[in-house]
């Protein structure tokens, strides 16, 4: 996270508060959904503090969960008509596909970009465009590896449809993976999300598909690494 610049000639502070600010700027905050996963092993570490292997194991688990549930600050672009990546990860597919049937977007293939999230990636999801949430539908399913093409059809998923002020419909689909057993979506029908706003999270390995209206120019490349809310993946018509 960037820090506010200080005017030239300002003496460098050595106070405790300055050090705390530096730490806050370097360490991303924790998503609220991760608090139970961090506090539980910390509690075990306190209870088992007299046993080195218990203490170390619990502290390692707490640190790993804190890293997984990190929620870094992002600054989305302000250009009109761009679509940003809804997640950190690797672009697995750049193609055309029929959107999930529960979104009622028709049966014709639409441009799609799929992003695969490993367990090491930031796992919060961000709105790819600014707009009104017109549909949110959760569908139970299987837990195949999220990098498989069939995962879009058969895995558990949560689909959200956004309607932009310019009149475009953009769908973003959270897909559970082999290790993912929980999809969180805080957005509700009627909400208005700014571009890049955090709206959900998938725990422990997953995939996020974005569907665009016909005529969209896809700018992502397969194998590309994306930064959620910042990497531009498409230009709307």
CA proximity to 152, closest of 195, 207, 91, 96: 207
Angle at 236 between CA 231 and CA 237, to 5 degrees: 155
Asked which of 41-50, 94-103, 215-224 is least confident by mean pLDDT, the reply is 41-50
CA-CA distance, 95 to 23, in Å (whole number)? 41
Burial of 73 (0-12, 13-18, 19+ CB in 10 A): exposed
Model pLDDT, residue 23: 46
Model pLDDT, residue 41: 65
- 147 or 40, greater pLDDT: 40
- Residues 46, 49, 51, 57: is their CA dihedral positive or negative? positive
Q: Is 97 a residue whose pLDDT tops 60? A: yes
Angle at 133 between CA 131 and CA 138, to 5 degrees: 145
User: What percentage of the chain exceeds 70 in pLDDT?
Assistant: 72
Q: Identify the H or E element spanning 142.
A: none
Angle at 229 between CA 227 and CA 231, to 5 degrees: 50
Angle at 173 between CA 167 and CA 174, to 5 degrees: 145
pLDDT (mean) for 106-124: 91
Model pLDDT, residue 3: 46
Arithmetic mean of pLDDT over the chain: 82
Model pLDDT, residue 26: 47
Q: Is 49 a residue whose pLDDT tops 90? A: no
Model pLDDT, residue 27: 62
Q: Which of 114, 152, 159, 206 is catalytic?
A: 206
The answer to whether 170 touches 213, Cβ cutoff 8 Å, is yes
What is the reported pTM? 0.77
Residue 121 sits at φ, ψ, to 5 deg, of -80, 160
206 is catalytic: yes
The answer to whether 119 touches 179, Cβ cutoff 8 Å, is yes
The per-residue pLDDT for range 148-173, each reduced to its tens digit, is 666 667 788 999 999 999 999 999 99
Confidence grade of residue 1 (pLDDT, cut at 50, 70, 90): very low
Please report how many Cα atoms fall inside a 13 Å half-sphere around the Cα of residue 60, on the Cβ side: 6
Q: Which two tokens stand for residue 7?
A: 């005017």
Confidence grade of residue 85 (pLDDT, cut at 50, 70, 90): very high
pLDDT (mean) for 28-41: 68
């Amino acid at each position: 996270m960037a820090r506010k610049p200080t005017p030239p000639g300002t003496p460098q502070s050595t106070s405790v508060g300055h050090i705390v600010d530096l730490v806050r700027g370097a360490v991303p905050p924790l998503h609220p959904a991760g608090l139970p996963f961090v506090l539980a092993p910390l509690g075990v570490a306190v209870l088992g503090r007299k046993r080195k292997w218990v203490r170390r194991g619990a502290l390692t688990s707490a640190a790993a969960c804190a890293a997984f549930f990190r929620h870094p600050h992002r600054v989305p672009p302000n250009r009109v008509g761009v679509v940003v990546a809804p997640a950190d990860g690797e672009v697995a597919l750049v193609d055309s596909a029929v959107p999930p049937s529960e979104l009622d977007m028709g049966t014709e293939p639409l441009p799609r970009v799929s992003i695969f999230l490993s367990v090491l990636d930031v796992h919060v999801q961000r709105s790819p465009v600014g707009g009104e949430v017109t549909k949110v539908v959760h569908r139970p399913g299987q837990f195949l590896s999220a990098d498989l093409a069939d995962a879009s059809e058969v895995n558990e998923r949560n689909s959200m449809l956004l309607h932009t002020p310019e009149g475009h419909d953009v769908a973003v689909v959270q897909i559970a993976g082999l290790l993912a057993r929980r999809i969180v979506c805080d957005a509700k029908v009627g909400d208005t999300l700014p571009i890049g706003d955090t709206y959900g999270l998938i725990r422990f390995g997953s995939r996020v598909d974005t569907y665009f209206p016909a005529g969209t120019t896809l700018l992502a490349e397969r194998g590309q690494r994306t930064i959620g809310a910042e990497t531009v993946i498409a230009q709307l018509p």
